[in-house]
Amino acid sequence: MIIRIGSSLPSFREIAFQQGLNILLADKDDASGDAESRNSCGKSSLVDIIHFLLGSTPTKDSLFNVPELADVQFFADMSVNGLSFRVSRSTRNDRRVEVAFADGKDHGLELEQDLMSVPSASVQDWCAWLGRQMFRIPRSAEHTPPSFRSLFGYFARRREDGGFQEPTRFAKPGQSKSAAQVALSYLFGLDWQLAIEFQEQRDEKAEVASQRKRAQARVGAAGRLKTVSALRSEVALTKSQAETLRSRVTNFKVHDQYQELAAEASAAKGRVEQLSREAVTVSSALDHIKESLVAETVNDGREVASLYKAAGIQLPETALRTFEQVKVFHESVIRNRRQHLNGQLGQQQRRFDEINAEMTVVAARRSEILSSLAGKGAFSDLSDTTRQLALKEGELARLENQLADALLLEKDSTEAKDHENKLLARLQHDLEARTDSIGAAVVAADEARQALYQEDRQGLLEITAKPSGPEFKMTIDGTRSGGISSMEIFCFDYALSKITKDRLGGPRLLVHDSHLFDGVDARQVATAIEVGASLADYIDGQYLVLLNSDEFEKLQFKKEFDAKARVLPTVLRDTEDGGLFGFRFK
């Protein structure tokens, strides 16, 4: 519980708090023009100071780094688990906090002190101590437990962190999905270490994706990653081709005159083919001449005389003598032709024999050359084969590397999927085993929802097992207006505060800035404050609400609820010196 917040800054408006509901108002001065704004009053700055005193790390553009607050100290009188103390922190040395317990002891907080100073602790030790006191965070576990800062943000949301955008995250995007899962699992009583394992599993999947990108980069933008089966086939074929080329290179014998002899063998082959074609021509000529010699016969006119005699005509002696003369003439012609054909026959036969003889010699020489070159080759052929082998071995190495990548990706993907399935099964079992804890949270959220909307709108807090880890979702029926979204956050915070108090003790503090109620109907705002007051009683702590005074005046509370009695005496104003710090920042 916060008793008082103050500062070494003389103009700072010290604020005292009470048990239960605390309403801090920001008022618009009558002399202020319409253009004046109460954003400079310091409502949100008060939330920043609470975080600062409870170990937050100021950012570069933080309120605590402005020149006007250089070397300024802020303090809070507090009571945690029955321990009263004052905590102070300076903007000049924000790495340490001064803590003075009312009884003078250290109560497990590692303090350093000299004779002239208040005992101080490092911010890290201070947060660890707060975590043990408010949330019973263990000192050690199999996995690193959630930190105090990763839990406390749900109990004092800040608009600049994105704390009013969704129920399950108090800092968006500053708080990762994994951090929210771990924090909420811890606060709601689930297996928070399982939530950490889900993050580790997501890291594994991210690494597999990175490996796939690297493998794709090695393949090149123009190519694509192939399957393991396709790569195995390509490796087998390429390896066989490489072994064939390697064997050729190993057994290759170089012949010094290979090129010349190969050319001679090629010429011999051409000559044999030429002679073969000529032999066909000569053989045809020989056959024709032989046929002509057989066909040459002499006609002596006897056939003509027989024809006349058959007709009853007797040819005169003179005609018969003429036939005899013709026969003698024809015999002379045939003799001359036979002599000519016999001369041609001899000439063609000699050529035919010459062709056969030359073909025998040329064929024998070609066979001799081929026999000499068998198993040998030219040096240029060896060089070309060696080059082909080098290219093939390079291709084989590339394919083998791709296969290794594909096998690794396949193995890692299978293991990641198997791990994901096992984690999901464990989470489902964990949620089933913690039905009572989940039911208590659901009922608490519904208490707030019913108070706000009765039966007008249904709503539900859901805690579900998903492949990505535990999912927490608070929904209220209706359009996604700012009002409903804000009340979803209110119901969620209400349930979280009750469950945390029951399980862990909790900070016993819930802070809601006026930004939570932007766009919310005045009836729901009034009801939310009344519900928050009952929550403060339940947790035996405080519900701090920061509102603008004109908006507060519009709220209609139940007759039995005296809201004005819960308004803090200190009212922040939008005048030059009426704000929290007593001046306006430049």
CATH number of the structural domain spanning residue 151: 3.40.50.300
Residue 35's pLDDT is what?
Answer: 38
Residues 444 and 565 in one domain: yes
Residue 89's pLDDT is what?
Answer: 97
Question: Which of 357, 377, 397 is where one domain is finished?
Answer: 377
Query: Which DSSP state fits 227?
Result: P
Residues 449 and 371 in one domain: no
Query: Which DSSP state fits 483?
Result: H
Question: Is 586 contained in some domain?
Answer: no
Residue 534 CA to residue 526 CA, distance in Å, equals 13
Query: Which DSSP state fits 169?
Result: B
Residues 28 and 169 in one domain: yes
Residues 452 and 373 in one domain: no
Question: Is 539 contained in some domain?
Answer: yes
| Contact call for residues 231 and 408 (beta carbons, < 8 A) | no
Residues 47 and 183 in one domain: yes
Residue 300's pLDDT is what?
Answer: 56
Residues 177 and 323 in one domain: no
Counting the structural domains of the chain, the total is: 2
Q: Which of 250, 252, 270 is nearest to 262 (CA)?
A: 270
Question: Which of 377, 404, 422 is where one domain is finished?
Answer: 377
Question: Which of 377, 400, 415 is where one domain is finished?
Answer: 377
* 524, two tokens: 């729901």
Residues 371 and 454 in one domain: no
Residues 470 and 535 in one domain: yes
Residues 330 and 470 in one domain: no
Question: Is 222 contained in some domain?
Answer: no
Question: Is 52 contained in some domain?
Answer: yes
Question: Is 99 contained in some domain?
Answer: yes
Instruction: Please give the model's pTM, rounded to 2 decimal places.
Output: 0.72
How does strand 83-90 pair with strand 73-80? antiparallel
User: What percent helix, strand, coil does the chain show, rounded to 5?
Assistant: 60, 15, 30
Residues 440 and 567 in one domain: yes
Residues 28 and 176 in one domain: yes
Residue 39's pLDDT is what?
Answer: 45
Residue 470's pLDDT is what?
Answer: 96
Residue 58's pLDDT is what?
Answer: 93
Structural domain that includes position 40: 2-190+434-573
Give per-10-residue mean pLDDT for the chain (586 aa).
97 96 86 44 93 95 92 97 96 95 94 84 97 94 92 96 95 91 97 93 78 72 73 88 81 62 77 87 86 68 66 68 67 76 84 88 81 64 76 84 79 81 95 96 96 87 95 88 89 98 97 94 96 98 96 94 96 90 86
Question: Is 182 contained in some domain?
Answer: yes
Q: Which helix (H) or strand (E) holds 240?
A: helix 228-251
Q: Is the dihedral of CA 471, 473, 479, 485 positive or negative?
A: negative
Q: Is 314 helix (H, G, I), strand (E, B) or coil?
A: coil
Residue 375's pLDDT is what?
Answer: 61
Residues 316 and 447 in one domain: no
At 301-358, the pLDDT tens digits run: 566 667 667 776 766 777 666 667 666 766 777 777 778 778 888 888 888 888 888 8
Q: Is 377 helix (H, G, I), strand (E, B) or coil?
A: strand
How does strand 2-7 pair with strand 459-466? unpaired
Residue 475 CA to residue 480 CA, distance in Å, equals 10
CA angle 58, 59, 61 (to 5 degrees): 120
Question: Is 358 contained in some domain?
Answer: yes
| Contact call for residues 101 and 79 (beta carbons, < 8 A) | no
* 393, two tokens: 């071995």
Count Cα neighbours of 91 within 13 Å in the Cβ-side half-sphere.
20
- Walk across the sheet containing 509-512 and list its strands: 509-512, 542-548, 20-27, 572-573
Residue 315's pLDDT is what?
Answer: 62
Question: Is 524 contained in some domain?
Answer: yes
